[in-house]
Homo-oligomer: A and B are copies of this chain.
Amino acid sequence: MLSHDAKPAQEVGRERGRGAHKGQQTRAAILEAALSLASQMGIEGLSIGALAEVTGMSKSGVFAHFGSREELQISVIREYHARFADEVFLPAIREPRGLPRLRALFTRWVDKVATEIDSGCIYISGAVEFDDRPGPVRDALVEMVRTWHGALDRAIRLSVDVGHLRPDTDPMQMLFEIHGLILSLHHDARFLRSSGAVDRAHKAFERVIQFYAVDPAKAPVGAVAINAAKVEGERSSSTPL
């Protein structure tokens, strides 16, 4: 690289690639810091200035990666959503359709909220922060929450289809009840600092299942074994989050 000769085109291309790669790494590092900041201060606490301070970068350096505060906030919401998908959704949909998958979605959701007791969940706090602030940030948050609700809704409908839940199950009603358990967990563990909230969430979830299950005595566990073989071949058709 000390040569003053013009570099061959291939090498220039490789360096550009490296430059782009470094740019992506910097962007990822800023996003990482932004996620951490947002979980402590809220999405409204995010600003180019605050982020420059935390990362030790110049404001213009941060600005080069995120053109505006709003774009930064939306990028953080999308990054949170991508991680949520990786940690909660994707491993859960590898479970067989029906209650095993629905239970995996819930269990991993509880795990995610439980690991966020100290930092806070961006979905939950964002919903309160932006519930009356119209605009692109709110729209991005609503879209992410709706996407996640859509995934749960499908898992409930599939549980009906494979015969684990009663045909008259109202997916929106069941979703309302399940989501409430997560919100109660977040409230009690984070705000009231009360212990035992995770256990309460699991116990309550089993009660909800018990209510909607075809055969409360058997379905939650029994149906899994009965339908596992049938369900095995259907996994590939799951709609991605």
Contact = CB atoms under 8 A, between A and B. Distances in A.
Interface residues of A, number: 39
A230 interface: no
A192 B145 contact: yes
Copies of this chain in the oligomer:
2
Given A128-B124, A128-B125, A180-B181, A191 B142 contact: yes
A176 B204 contact: yes
A196 B197 CA distance: 27
Contacts of A196: 172
A131 B116 CA distance: 12
Contact of A184 (B142, B183, B190, B192): B183
Interface in A171-191: 172-173, 176-177, 179-184, 187-188, 190-191
Nearest to A183: B183
B188 A184 contact: no
Contacts of A125: 128, 131
6 contacts: A128-B128, A131-B190, A176-B200, A179-B188, A180-B182, A183-B187
Nearest to A141: B191
Nearest to A199: B173
A139 to B, nearest CB: 12
Contacts of A145: 191-192
Nearest to A212: B207
A120 interface: yes
A176 B188 CA distance: 8
Interface string A183-217: 11001101110001100110110010001000000
Contacts of A42: 129
Given A142-B191, A146-B192, A184-B177, A40 B132 contact: yes
A12 interface: no
Contact of A120 (B132, B141, B200, B201): B132
A141 B141 CA distance: 26
A120 B127 CA distance: 12
A176 B197 contact: yes
Interface string A125-147: 10111111000000001100110
